[in-house]
Structure 1
């Protein structure tokens, strides 16, 4: 119940335009990870892991957009992910399954910034799964677009 209330409070604060404080929990990873207990991350925690940049077109934007965020392969290493699938759930309950192999095969990032600005919930933030769509023709397909969850809140490793 406490977790549900925390998620509702976070969603309300983000939607109400207050943005994300540097130390607010914006992501929880659970499932088949080292220790077996959920790990919470603030924006600062994610940025401390390292960052990568992808400049690409997407079906949801006009022109080339520059995204910056944590490489999902590094994030999975950080939590000791040992499964094969990342079950990603967004604030609006959208859910998708992503093979963990995608994270290293395609250098997928969990974007925190878009064109240099922190992403807001109103514009697909605070976290957005981004593939380098323009780098490989196979990435410009419904399969990979459907894996690109925005407003990411939890990742469960299965």
Structure 2
């Protein structure tokens, strides 16, 4: 292979790799003029929150593992107002920051010890501990429990 062909081949392979790298980003959080990108490893390095609850979309009790939304908002510097949580299909819900606690909701990346896949409402799912408090057993909480979450945007 000539040096020119090697350069062209390397450039082609680098271009082919770009979409794979972009797929590694599971969540983009944009707020206050900054953007944070999280892949699964970055999410798993944050403090872990886990709870067991039933949902309207699963059978029986399920254990969810993830990171508290409050943790992500703190990293992004979001302290008040609301955030827009948006799924891959552009379904979006507004979540008031005043209603986010250390325990709920979480951005789940695992269900019953298994990484969530897009076929199973993943790779990320906004989940509340529905069984722990009747306050979470409302249409509002259910509507905010979006799956296939891929971005969170704070008010600018």
Q: Deviations over 1:55-75 (max 9, x none)?
A: 001000110010000011111
Matched residue SS, 1:46: helix
Q: Which 4+ stretches in 1 moved above 3 angstroms?
A: none
Shift of 1:31: 2.6
2:83 is the alignment partner of 1:86: yes
Task: Compute the RMSD of aligned alpha carbons.
Answer: 1.8
TM-score (norm 2): 0.81
Pairing partner for 1:135 from 125, 132, 137: 132
Shift of 1:106: 5.1
Which structure has greater helix proportion?
2
CA distance in 2, matches of 1:81, 1:96: 17
Counterpart of 1:3 in structure 2 is none
Counterpart of 1:116 in structure 2 is 113
CA distance in 1, matches of 2:53, 2:44: 21
2:28 is the alignment partner of 1:31: no
CA distance in 2, matches of 1:105, 1:39: 20
Counterpart of 1:68 in structure 2 is 65
TM-score (norm 1): 0.80
Matched residue SS, 1:129: strand
Counterpart of 1:6 in structure 2 is none
Shift of 1:105: 6.6
Counterpart of 1:153 in structure 2 is 150
Matched residue SS, 1:77: helix
Number of paired residues? 136
Counterpart of 1:102 in structure 2 is 99
CA distance in 1, matches of 2:127, 2:80: 21
Structure 1: unaligned runs, 5 residues or longer: 1-8, 14-19
Structure 2: unaligned runs, 5 residues or longer: 1-18
Q: Deviations over 1:68-106 (max 9, x none)?
A: 000111111112114411101100111101111222175
CA contact (8 A) 1:67 1:113 kept: yes
